Structure 1
């Protein structure tokens, strides 16, 4: 060891003087913990936006909430449904359209959801904004902080970061976007509901939205995974499952089935006449496990049949999550045949067990 290194270990460090503080008044304030503890503690925040059939709500006011899922899974329908409820109750709502759905598409859906035309045409009740650039977006946030909407829909996070000139895969860049756009609106009291997507890769898809995990850390309300139950189509409606990925305050999770890693929070249903509702989980109702049809086909083609998750991983080179999910659905879909008194034919794949491998441009 060099002598100068030894000195660093044995000699006390020389204190570095702090820079002088200008002025004599201390302007720093801290949370009044003593005052808080001297009285009654306030109740924990509870979800108060978009009630389901049992009266429990899905989203938190004054917080950043996030919906994520595959294309055409119904994410935008859920957000618009929440906005429609708020508008018909006399509250203010704004839709920030980063995904270029277009004002006609959004307004048409709100009309279908029975929001009166006079409400939508009133700028003091409803506002639609498709920001032109970064400057326009920041100016919009500043204006909305003053206007104080009750609910803000943001579609989508995937377009928000590039619009600000930021990298979707960077935790620091997402933090900048959250601080510049999402957090100020939530702190102004709005229920901010943003939409995000999942990767096509099965392993990444299971983890949550695309890009950085900083998205999940920033969620102060609830984070829901959206998956199709009945495909949405014009004139026929559709439905989707809403599963809890994160619930910071636990208010929604406490009123949903326990025991699952991502418990079912409810099922959003849109009827052929465009009426809609969120149905609470019925007893032990759970979201069916689904797997891509191509994965089921690969397992079915194996000879001999797959015997375990490890067997699937070794023979097909899949990751653990993909192998576990696919093997579970495979076994439910193609049970081991019994030869005594029964036929040995396999069953057809039920539609509920198949997740299409590819999707087109999101329309919901």
Structure 2
């Protein structure tokens, strides 16, 4: 079985002095059958029809706490169910059934979409044996999407060492890869490394090798507030097959794939990135909130340094993102709606969220 889960034709064993030829791939037969088209991402389509995730592959979505990464994964599951497919959640983070179901209801799921075991399955395995039983059952069931939340709890659940790349490889072979080989789009949720910013997910090297689909980084744009919605940038950290990268802005190593928006009523849409649109610098949400509280608004890097007592680099980075979000919000408000449902909910990106008096930016959205 090849790395991208496709069968490799074997050469016939003709014996003689050539050894056992059946051990080797038959390139002639492969080429005679015609080169297959490369896989295309089709799970969770953006507004331009290009999906964010690949079927039959391990995909990873990672970011800071409360950045919206779990919400994006659950939205992919809900869209799949609504399209007639099957979706499941493996809750290794022990969010609880109440926690996961409430998140799904908050983004518009109907109770009858979640109550049938033939459409949706939720599992909260407590140990290795139970987890492997769930994996076997979901593989036989034929799940179209499996959300695993989160990778950080996968190795402890398997009684393996979280700091060992070799142990992660074992966990991947026992849990993630079998689900992908059954045809499921596996969306594994992960946290950003302790270094923060754009350093990637924890245990980057081992996880990057294991991801046969995409690795997407989620960065808060507008904090997710219950009843008010929110948004997040989604950028491409890895795209093994290139299908998502080919339909995203070029010129950057980690291009912006789009913007995930949750409207006030819970409606979720992934807006495709436009030509020239870039991923903003990663800065802490609390820094942006602090800058937005300044009255009068900040006027320069020097002004921010003096009033916030920050270093030059920190003041410059936060002020740049702060200004870009104000500009983006103004541009979006002048843009005519072009997506179904946009007229009712307002254009996107929605107006700049960091208004005075917003309070704590921590909203409980993962």
Tell me which interval the TM-score lies in, with the shorter structure as reference length.
0.7 to 0.9
Query: Which of 163, 166, 187 is the matching residue for 1:172?
Result: 166
Question: 131-140 vs 249-258, which deviates more?
Answer: 131-140
When normalised by structure 1's length, the TM-score is: 0.75
**Structure 2 CA distance for aligned equivalents of residues 270 and 333 of structure 1:** 21
1:145 aligns with 2:133: no
Who is 2:213 aligned against?
221
**Structure 2 CA distance for aligned equivalents of residues 334 and 277 of structure 1:** 23
1:45 aligns with 2:45: no
Structure 1 counterpart SS, 2:198: helix
**Structure 2 CA distance for aligned equivalents of residues 142 and 272 of structure 1:** 38
Structure 1 counterpart SS, 2:252: coil
**Structure 2 CA distance for aligned equivalents of residues 225 and 42 of structure 1:** 29
Who is 2:317 aligned against?
329
Query: Which of 176, 187, 191 is the matching residue for 1:193?
Result: 187
When normalised by structure 2's length, the TM-score is: 0.74
| RMSD between aligned residues | 3.0
Structure 2 counterpart SS, 1:115: coil
1:250 aligns with 2:242: yes
Cα distance, 1:161 vs structure 2:
0.9
| Higher Cα radius of gyration | 1
Who is 2:228 aligned against?
236
**Structure 1 CA distance for aligned equivalents of residues 56 and 222 of structure 2:** 32
The alpha-carbon distance between structure 1 residues 333 and 89, as it changes in their structure 2 partners (threshold 3 A), is: closer
Who is 1:162 aligned against?
156
Q: 2:224 touches 2:365 (CA, 8 Å); kept in 1?
A: no
The alpha-carbon distance between structure 1 residues 125 and 234, as it changes in their structure 2 partners (threshold 3 A), is: same
Q: 1:169 touches 1:212 (CA, 8 Å); kept in 2?
A: no
Cα distance, 1:84 vs structure 2:
0.6
Query: Which of 128, 133, 137 is the matching residue for 2:127?
Result: 133
Question: 173-182 vs 285-294, which deviates more?
Answer: 285-294
**Structure 2 CA distance for aligned equivalents of residues 170 and 359 of structure 1:** 34
**Structure 1 CA distance for aligned equivalents of residues 152 and 214 of structure 2:** 18
Write out per-residue CA displacement over residues 115-174 of structure 1, whole angstroms, 9 at most, x where no aligned residue.
Answer: 332231111111000001111001111111111100000000011111111122211011
Cα distance, 1:219 vs structure 2:
0.7
Cα distance, 1:40 vs structure 2:
1.7
**Structure 2 CA distance for aligned equivalents of residues 168 and 197 of structure 1:** 13
Write out per-residue CA displacement over residues 21-79 of structure 1, whole angstroms, 9 at most, x where no aligned residue.
Answer: xxxxx796543321111132111111010000011111000000000100000001100
Who is 2:294 aligned against?
none
Write out per-residue CA displacement over residues 220-243 of structure 1, whole angstroms, 9 at most, x where no aligned residue.
Answer: 000000000000011001000000
Q: 1:170 touches 1:212 (CA, 8 Å); kept in 2?
A: no
Structure 1 counterpart SS, 2:305: helix
The alpha-carbon distance between structure 1 residues 191 and 333, as it changes in their structure 2 partners (threshold 3 A), is: closer
Who is 2:3 aligned against?
none
Structure 2 counterpart SS, 1:207: coil
Write out per-residue CA displacement over residues 277-326 of structure 1, whole angstroms, 9 at most, x where no aligned residue.
Answer: 000012322222143439x99x9369xx98xxxxx8xxxxxxxxxx6xx4
Unpaired runs of 5+ in structure 2?
Answer: 1-19, 291-300, 324-351, 355-359
Cα distance, 1:331 vs structure 2:
7.5
1:114 aligns with 2:119: no
Aligned residues: 300
1:73 aligns with 2:78: no
The alpha-carbon distance between structure 1 residues 28 and 257, as it changes in their structure 2 partners (threshold 3 A), is: same
Structure 2 counterpart SS, 1:228: strand
Cα distance, 1:359 vs structure 2:
8.5
**Structure 2 CA distance for aligned equivalents of residues 235 and 281 of structure 1:** 26
**Structure 2 CA distance for aligned equivalents of residues 334 and 60 of structure 1:** 34
Unpaired runs of 5+ in structure 1?
Answer: 1-25, 307-311, 313-322, 336-349, 353-357
Query: Which of 29, 36, 52 is the matching residue for 2:30?
Result: 36
Query: Which of 258, 275, 294 is the matching residue for 1:266?
Result: 258
**Structure 2 CA distance for aligned equivalents of residues 82 and 231 of structure 1:** 20
